[in-house]
């Protein structure tokens, strides 16, 4: 056998990462098991991939956002990246795509029952010191919203498929249809046409769901519309 036939050549320039040797354990694998990378002298079955070649001149980042954040993220949005591999070296990126199909990471993720969406970002100027597979922290530059009314997220209720808030009118709370425009973890911005004014008292629990007879009443207190 010609030794030259055993040489594996990359079809392009790039950064090579050896794959895990799935044959190192004799084909027996279990959850949480750590496999070694391929090294000189290992036997490989025909057709088994042993390495990946990455073009690091242009790099993309894949992240996840939950369904509450999804409404605030769109293609073209700018972002700043921070990596422990490059301390003190901020990188800029731009959102290229946001998945339209949600995933439920209830059992394996950190978002609890919230569904998540994949978001792709492209680094504006790749740094060759940032290697494929590196974890990064993503800070998205959201839309700046000024001079809008906002209410706590807990004050928004869904009635007949529409968002409503309950506004105090004398000794009772009346539902009022609203149009949310932007959301954060704790606040919801409302369209100016909703007719609400700053300082109105709104309910934090649904007044239409009265507690059963003899049940202890909720200790939740009303909130106000802010600006």
Q: Is residue 51 part of a domain?
A: no
Q: Is residue 222 part of a domain?
A: no
| Stated pTM of the model | 0.55
Q: Averaged over 42-56, what is the pLDDT?
A: 84
Q: What CATH number has the domain bearing residue 99? A: 2.40.30.170
Range of the domain at 94: 60-140
Q: Is residue 42 part of a domain?
A: no
Whether residue 163 is predicted with pLDDT greater than 80 in this model: the reply is yes
Q: Is residue 220 very low, low, confident or very high in pLDDT (cuts 50, 70, 90)?
A: very low
Per the structure, how many domains does the chain have? 2
Q: Are 74 and 130 in the same domain? A: yes
pLDDT in tens, 89-145: 889 999 999 988 877 655 545 555 678 889 999 999 888 888 888 889 998 877 777
Report the Cα–Cα distance between both ends of the chain, in Å, rounded: 79
Q: Is residue 2 part of a domain?
A: no
Domain boundary among 83, 113, 140: 140
Whether residue 8 is predicted with pLDDT greater than 90 in this model: the reply is no
Q: Are 90 and 67 in the same domain? A: yes
Alpha helix ranges (H) inside the chain: 67-70
Domain boundary among 87, 114, 140: 140
Query: In degrees, to the nearest 5, what angle opens at C-alpha 32 toward C-alphas 29 and 35?
Result: 55
Q: Is residue 19 part of a domain?
A: no
Phi and psi at residue 193, to the nearest 5°: -75, -5
Q: Is residue 198 part of a domain?
A: yes
Q: Averaged over 68-72, what is the pLDDT?
A: 78
Q: Are 136 and 157 in the same domain? A: no
Q: Are 152 and 223 in contact (CB under 8 A)?
A: yes
Return the C-alpha torsion angle 157, 162, 164, 169, nearest 10. Answer: -130
Task: Supply the pLDDT for residue 93.
Answer: 94
Average pLDDT, the chain: 81
Q: Are 151 and 100 in contact (CB under 8 A)?
A: no
């Amino acid at each position: 056998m010609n030794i030259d036939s055993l040489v594996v050549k990359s079809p392009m320039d790039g950064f090579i990462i050896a794959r895990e040797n799935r044959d190192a354990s004799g084909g027996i694998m279990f959850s949480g098991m750590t496999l070694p990378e391929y090294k000189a002298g290992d036997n490989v079955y025909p057709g088994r991939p042993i390495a990946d070649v990455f073009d690091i001149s242009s790099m993309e980042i894949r992240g996840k956002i939950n369904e509450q954040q999804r409404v605030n993220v769109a293609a073209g949005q700018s972002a700043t990246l921070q990596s422990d591999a490059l301390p003190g070296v901020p990188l800029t990126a731009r959102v290229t795509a946001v998945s339209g199909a949600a995933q439920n990471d209830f059992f394996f993720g950190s978002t609890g029952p919230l569904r998540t969406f994949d978001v792709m970002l492209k680094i504006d100027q790749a740094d060759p010191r940032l290697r494929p597979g590196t974890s990064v922290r993503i800070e998205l530059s959201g839309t700046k919203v000024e001079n809008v009314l906002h209410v706590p997220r807990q004050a928004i209720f869904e009635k007949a498929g529409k968002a409503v808030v309950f506004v105090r009118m004398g000794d009772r709370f009346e539902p009022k249809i609203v149009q949310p425009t932007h959301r954060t973890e704790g606040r919801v911005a409302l369209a100016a046409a909703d007719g609400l004014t700053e300082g109105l008292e709104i309910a934090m629990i649904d007044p239409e769901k009265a507690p059963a007879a003899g049940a202890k009443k909720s200790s939740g207190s009303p909130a106000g519309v802010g600006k």
